[in-house]
Structure formats: C-alpha cells, structure tokens
Amino acid sequence: MLVRAALSTVLLGTSVLTALAGPTFDRTEHDVTGASSAVATVTPTPSTTAIPDDEGTTQSLEATASSAVPGACVSSDVDPGIPAADFGDIAQYSTTPLAQGVDCTGFRAYLSTGLPQYDSQSFEFFGELIGSDGSENSVAIMSQGNPLSWVDPALPVPITVEEAGLIFNRLDENAGPVIGGIDGLALPDLPPTTATADVSIGYQPWSIDVAGTTGTEAETISMTAISGAPGAVGTTYELTAVLATGYAGHSTTEPTTFTAVVNDPTGIVQWGYGPNGFFPLWMFDGTPVDGIATNDQRDAIMNEYGGDIGAYLTATNDPMTGQGSQYYSMPVLNVEQWSVTRGESYVGGGTSGTLWFDNLTETYNETADHVVRNGYQWTEFSMMLPDTGQGLLIAKTSQADVGNLYYAMLAGADSTQNANGTLAPTANWPQAAIEVEAVPGSEWTSPQSCYVYTLADHVTLAAVDGRPAVDVVLSAVDHPDQEINALGRPVYEGLFSYTGTIDGQAVSGKAWGEIQGTPPTDDCGGGSSSPSGSGEAVLAATGQDFTPIAPAAALLLFTGAVLLFGLRRRSNSAVNRRI
C-alpha cells in the first residue's frame, strides 16, 4: 500500500508499527567514525534451490487463457555488490535509470539492500487468510526502516530506526486485531534488547530477518524466498513471526507464532513512472506551501494532459521531488498454508487465502514534510483479482495545500515486462475518469476512538482510450472492528470485499483497504479500555512501557529519548507514512 509506507501506517500498514515506539531495530551498520557503511547486512548465501528460468516458470491462469504472464527475469545467485548509493538518494521522477531500473540483477539487489539514504524503506505482506473452518482472517506483516535523521535532521547520531510487526485479526470474533512488534535502534554490535534490534537483508535467498526482545523473551520476524528469486514468477515465500501480541488497549499479551507460505504466480508490478518507478502522491498548484514556492503542476496536468500524470511527466520531465515514492507490488500471492497460535491456543490455520506485497522507498523535503504533517488524508484499496492474475490499485489522496489526487491502475496478466523484469500497468486511468464516492448509510462510529468512518465506497472508472470500464462497491468485511490506532491517530485498515464489474464481466473478491475517519467534535464516550484504544495502549499491547527502557549505554539513552520525543512530535506524519 503506497501511502502506508509513505506514512508508515502499517500497515501495518504500515500503520500501527510506527506507533510501537518501544524497541526498534536498525538496518544500518556504522564504523567508528559514525559514518553509515551499509543499511543492512547483505548476506549472499549459496542456494541449492533451482531458480526458475525464463521459459519454465510462467504459470497459466485458469480464467485467462489469453493473458500470458511474462516469464521470470532471473538474476544470478552471486550478490552483484551494487553500492547502496547506486539506487539513488531521493524519490523523484527521472528518465535516467538507477541500478534498480537497468536490469533484473539491479532490481533484485535493490530489494535486497538496506537504503539509509531514504526516509523510509518498507516491505509488507497483507491480505486474507481463509481458515480450514471457513473463517475469514486478515493479516499484515512488515519491516520498515527510517533513519533517525528523519525524526530530527540535526541529530549527530547516524542510526536507523526500524519497526517490524504483525497484525492479525480473526474477523468472526469481532474483537479487533492483535498486535505485536519489534522496534528499536539498530545497533548491530550490541545484543537485541527492549530498545534495540538486529535486522539483516539477504540477497540469495532473499530474506529479511529481524530479532529483538520484549522483556526477556526473544522475538523474531522473517520474510524469505524459499524458492526462486524475489519478484520472479513462481517464487515461494515463507513468512514467520514469533512475538508477544495483545489487543490494543489491553496490557495482557500472549506469546504468538504465525507462519505462512505463499506463492507468486504473476510477478512484481512497477506502479510508478520512469525506469525507477516514481509514484506521485500529490500535485502542487503553484501557491507557496509552508512559505516555500512551488510550481503549478495541477493546471498543466488537468488541462493540458487530460489529468494524465504520466503524460505530464514524460513531456516535462518534472522530477516532482519528494512528492511520492518508488512503489512495487506483488498483487496476487496464493496462500498455500498458514497457522496462528497464541499462548496455549490454536487460533486458526488453513491452506487458502490471498496476500498482496508492497515495497516502497520514500524521501521528504520541507514541502513534503509539511503536507504529510498537516491533515494528509487517503482512501486506498488494493484489490486482489486471483482469477485473472491481476491487481487493481485505487485511491484518493487529499490535503488542504495540495488538493485531491486520484489514481487507478491495473496490472498483472497481460502486462508487458520492463527492462528490470517488473510488470508495467495495463491500464492507468486519468483523473477525470476516476470516481470514489462514499455509499450513503455506510457511516460507522468507532466506540473506541469516536471517529466516524464510511465503510463502503462506490468506485467507477470510465472506459476511456481503450481502458476497461470498472464499476465496483468495496465494503468493510462483515465485522467492523478493524480500526488501528497509531500514536493517537486512528485509521480503519484491513479486509474489504468488492463486487461489481470490470470490462463488463462480473467480479467479486477481497481487497485491502485504508480509510481515514472524521475526528469526533466532542466526547462520544470512547475509551482506551476497548480493543483499539490510545497510542499508549498500542504500546502496552506489545508489552512495552510507553517510555523506552533505558539501556546501559549512554548513546542508547540519548537516542531513545530523542526518538521518543521526535515520534511524539511528528506522530501525524509517522501515521501517514504505508507501508
């Protein structure tokens, strides 16, 4: 989810995990002079797993005999050793390919390298798990790194802050999500504590491994390609989390183990523009933002280029620096098996479901920082279409200084392959062709936060210039308790269902949705005793104190205090940052 990372909502979006301001880990290694040497430990490991070749890995999609999926673009087992700097240092549009835009090897290395020069780098899996008992469950698992300088550029300590976490919601219980996380300062020379954690990224096999503690208990989160290469058709991924989880608002936690094995029949999509996948999130209209002059992009995009941002970028080469992210997704991941246990209880498991994967890198300049900290709002749906091997991304973003921006893109089967092996969207609707309207009567007031959400939206995409017509209604899955509270800013995020038509054909299925609510004008009686309580309660759900436990090292004490202050001070932008 693009805005998740942009605003770290992860999830857990991109969302909750940013709120878990206790222990955090880091992707950065440092030398004795304090200079960053590498964001993550890259551990090329010989693999005996056969990597799919260009001909043998393309799976035929039962429902789309005519929709050929490009063959996997495979890289070598040998780590190419591309320096992090070769992947750029700011998210912007450019016609010049960085290492990740040149070829498959560069792109695989991009997914396997920590990037401390960016303000955010996130990896997220989220979607639906179907239990063997027929139950519907939602899950999100993520890893996200942010340099401490993002909290305060004046900080003299070059340390990365990392959040990793799990959100699991058994929807038939209607009790809200259970949440657990490993947060902390990344100090690889010290053992993980409640304020530090270790993270490593491997190249082959691709893997992200995070280790930390809650109290005295060791915790881990891992995402690994157990066969194939990341982004290649047919690759299988194993996701695991062993950590303490609890309902937000409740101090009780239980040891939790989550596992899932998923397979990618489609490949990875590059949603953005240019060879490096830049994805804009807003347009300027030429008026100053926070006293800083801006160019008038909106009038040109809407009047000269028919609302088509891609056409505008191609014609003008406007870099739109800091106005978006570099955004990649695997929109259809078939769940082969999964299970969750909490304490002594087996919560659920099964052999079906569909997940979506997002990878985003983002940077923010002064104007962007103002935008995301001052009322930035988004409604976003990641629609999974497993029958056709496609994903449909639909969203509306808005903020007082930059107005509204709509986007809708379809990709997967029938996509062409970019030079770096990623898939290009088959349809990208211009602004005027997109309508996202709240369904009357779908309003819901959270009994916990008192925020008011509209939990159903009617989306129409016009059939213009060969693009298929889309007419769907997306509604929050039956049970409403999917609200997440990150540092005092509630977000409704979780599983949605959709029904309607695409190109005249009936469709139905599941989507991941992120909805912003309207804050209460007065006290509606909500409180932190319910499953989605205050920001402090979110921290309590992980078994952590709201104030980080001070480690023995003075450096950790200093950085922990600064981090907590910064996260509180910038909670709005942190909540807004996707994954």
Rounded Cα–Cα distance for residues 145 and 135 (Å): 33
Which pLDDT tens digit goes with each residue over 293-337? 999 999 999 999 999 999 999 999 999 999 999 999 999 999 999
Greatest distance between any 2 Cα atoms in the chain: 64
Say whether 482 sits in a helix, a strand or coil: coil
Q: What is the mean pLDDT of residues 488-506?
A: 93
pTM exceeds 0.85 for this model: no
* Cβ–Cβ under 8 Å, residues 428 and 434: no
Question: Over the stretch 105-148, which tens digit does the pLDDT of each residue have?
Answer: 999 999 999 898 898 899 999 999 999 999 999 999 999 988 77
- Does 470 have pLDDT greater than 50? yes
Tell me the C-alpha distance between 521 and 330, whole Å: 40
Determine the Cα–Cα distance for residues 199 and 157; give it in Å rounded to an integer.
19
- pLDDT (0 to 100) of residue 566: 39
Handedness of CA 572, 186, 35, 108 (dihedral sign): negative
Residues 174 and 48: their CA atoms lie apart, in Å, by 44
Summarize pLDDT for 202-215 with one digit per residue, the tens.
998 999 999 988 77
Of the CA atoms within 13 Å of residue 18, those in its CB half-sphere come to: 40
Label residue 42 by pLDDT band (50, 70, 90). very low
pLDDT at 21: 31
Distance in angstroms (rounded) separating the CA atoms of residues 499 and 436: 15
Residue in 169, 135, 137 with CA at minimum distance from that of residue 16: 169
* pLDDT above 50 (res 438): yes
Whether the pLDDT of residue 510 is over 50: the answer is yes
pLDDT (mean) for 255-271:
96
Q: How many CA atoms lie within 13 A of 323 on its CB side?
A: 26
Using alpha carbons, list the distances in angstroms from residue 77 to 47, 116, 141, 199: 7, 24, 26, 21
Rounded distance, CA 93 to CA 289, Å?
Answer: 20
Least confident of 154-168, 185-199, 341-355: 185-199
- Per-residue pLDDT averaged across 80-94, rounded? 94
